[in-house]
Structure formats: C-alpha cells, structure tokens
Chains A and B, each alone.
Chain A
Amino acid sequence: MGLIQAPPGEKTGTYGVLLAKLSTVVGKAQRFSVWPLGFGLACCAIEMMATVTNRMDLSRFGGEIFRASPRQADLMIVAGRVSLKMAPVIQRLYEQMAEPRYAIAMGACASCGGPFDNYAIVQGVDNYIPVDVYVPGCPPRPEMLLNGILMLHEKIMRGEAPANHGGIYVPEV
C-alpha cells in the first residue's frame, strides 16, 4: 500500500471512487433537508408540534424549519381531519408547492377519515392530493410521525418519491 508510489489521482485504494445512479445521489442529498409545511388542522397538530420539540427533535433530520408558505416548503404534513370545506384549500396549497413535493397523511383522519364517517369529513386526504406516506394513529405518537418521515426519507433516497409523478427532477446536463 505504501510501497508503490502511484501518480496522484490514480486508483490505489487511498482515493475513493463511488459508482452510483444520479437519482440515488440526488436523493441522498435531498433527503437531508425536507422542509415541512405544517398543515395542522386538528388534534394531530399537537403531536406534530411535539415531534418538533426537543425530546423527539425533528430538526435532527432536517425538518426543523416549518415554513408558513407552501411556496417554500417541500413536505405537506396533513395533520388532522379534513372537512369538505377545507378540501379545495388543501388541493390549492399542494398545487402551490414547488416540485419535488411530498405529502404525509398523518393520523387516521387524514388517511381514511378516521372515526368520522359522515357528511362533513373527507374520507382520506388522498382523494384530493397524492400521498407518499400514511401514518396511522389517533393521534400517532411523535415517534410514529418521526418513523413516517424517515420512511419518506428512504423513499426519497431510493428515488421513489414524490407520489405525483414517480420520479425526481434531474436537471439536464
């Protein structure tokens, strides 16, 4: 290892060469900074807030900065029950997010309507926006939401998210 002096840059084992797909590399970079648009509608918002507090600490995984504007956010966490009156608002906000954009349905109500199977509550926010990860619970514990966000990170790394067009944006080189 140390006896043969190779010209600088050539592969001797001291310089590393990584072979990978571009989408994987970009995905690995993207997942470190997924800024949530906290869309706390109801009780699940409390647990989402708890995930950001220092005990669970979402900022370890890049999601500390909850943006108020969808234009600046990557991830929409739909936390809470979605009423019929709120559904077009959610759809418009999702459309305003810049790609690549992801969505997590947090809790039973956002996933499937939860305990409210009636005239006013939408039976799952995926009737209006494409959802990447569903987190069950009523409400899910902060650890469960964290698990869902990490699952989303793995999806991003593999290049499988976002759900709206099944690929990531790869700039033309």
Chain B
Amino acid sequence: MRSTAAEQATSASESAARRLKALLGDAVQEPRVERDGVLTVAVAREAVIAVLTELRDNPDHEFRVLIDLTAVDYGHGKRTPRFDVVYSLLSRRDVARIRLAVGVDEGDEWVPTATSVYPCANWLEREVYDLMGIRFDGHPDLKRIELPEDYDGHPLRKEFPLRGGHRQVRRPEDPEPHFGHRFRAR
C-alpha cells in the first residue's frame, strides 16, 4: 500500500515535469532527482510565473501549496548563474512534491514575484531579499523582514563576513540604537 502511494506521488511529479517540458520547451530543462528524492526542474526566469500557474491550476496534479521559497548562493565566480531561486511545491491530493530552480546571474539579481500565484510567497520573498539581495519584481512590499530596516548588506551571501563586519561591543561613542523609520520618538 505504501509503495503504491509513493509510486503514485513520483509519477505525479514526473508527469508534471513532462507536461511542463511539453508546454514550455526551452524554458524548462530536464528534470533531475535531488538527494532527498524530490524531482527538480530548472526553469528560466521568464517562464517561472507561467510554470507556477500551470502547476497550481492544472487539475491533473494540483500543486496548490508553496512549501518554501528560498535561494542558493554558489559563490562569486564559482558558477554561472551565481544564484538559484528555489520554489518547493506540494500537491496535497497526491502527496507529491516538485522543485523549481531558477538561475539568477550576479549583477542581474531579480525574479518576477510569485505573490500573484501563491500569496504566502510575500514573506518568503522578503526573506530572500533580506538575506540574499535578490529583488522580486512586482512585489507589493519588498523590504527587510528579519534584520533591522536600515541594515547594510545581505548576510547569507558567501562573501559576507560571519560577524557582520560591525563592532560587536557597543561603546559609549556609538550612536543610540533606534528602531528605524517606523518608530520615531515624538
């Protein structure tokens, strides 16, 4: 019984990947299976909204849940494109998972926003912007979510120093800490 469900899930992901390839051709690369057994498809930036919409709306697989939206930095000069924006989708009906990887070049770090397709992408994209510096074109409110609003830099990039490059012990001559633009003392 378990193996049938697993096979069903795998076949749902695979059929989704095949259908995407048939629909979009060049924009979608051959699927590969990652280490955790999830089918991963490389998608070009121009096609990502179409792919997400297709995966969500097609009644054959119904990947209606965006489980995660994150990014990978391979390091400056280590790989072209340098970044990968990764979308992890779940189909609750088939319990199937599929993953999209969108390559983003250094110096051209933007991706169209997925909030129109999956509303939960709002905060997930803010986190990617905060920590990696990848902008999301069309995002309703793209600003930092975890670090202070006036923080300088994107810490999860490979060249960012571990301790942030700022002094860790406050001295009396340091400026008073403040909340940023939101909380202004009256």
Contacts and interface: CB of A to CB of B under 8 A. Distances in A.
Is A bound to B?
yes
Interface of A: 84-85, 87-89, 91, 113, 117-120, 122-124, 127-128
A168 B160 CA distance: 46
B170 A84 contact: no
Interface residues of B, number: 19
Q: Which of B155, B166, B177, B178 has the largest count of A CB atoms less than 10 A from its CB?
A: B177
A84 B163 contact: no
A85 B163 contact: no
Contacts of A91: 177
B168 A88 contact: no
A127 B170 contact: yes
B179 A123 contact: no
Contacts of B176: 88
B22 interface: no
B163 A128 contact: no
Closest 10 CB pairs of A and B: A119-B164, A88-B177, A127-B170, A123-B168, A85-B148, A119-B155, A87-B177, A88-B179, A88-B178, A118-B162
Nearest to A87: B177
A128 B170 contact: yes
Contacts of A117: 162-163, 168
Contact of A118 (B163, B169, B178, B179): B163
B147 interface: yes
B169 A127 contact: yes
Nearest to B151: A84
Nearest to B185: A92
B169 A120 contact: no
A88 B179 CA distance: 6
Contacts of B161: 119
A120 B145 CA distance: 13
Contacts of A127: 169-170
Contacts of B155: 118-120
A85 B169 contact: no
B173 interface: no
Contacts of B179: 88-89
B160 A84 contact: no
A6 B20 CA distance: 107
Contacts of B164: 118-120
Contact of B147 (A84, A88, A89): A84
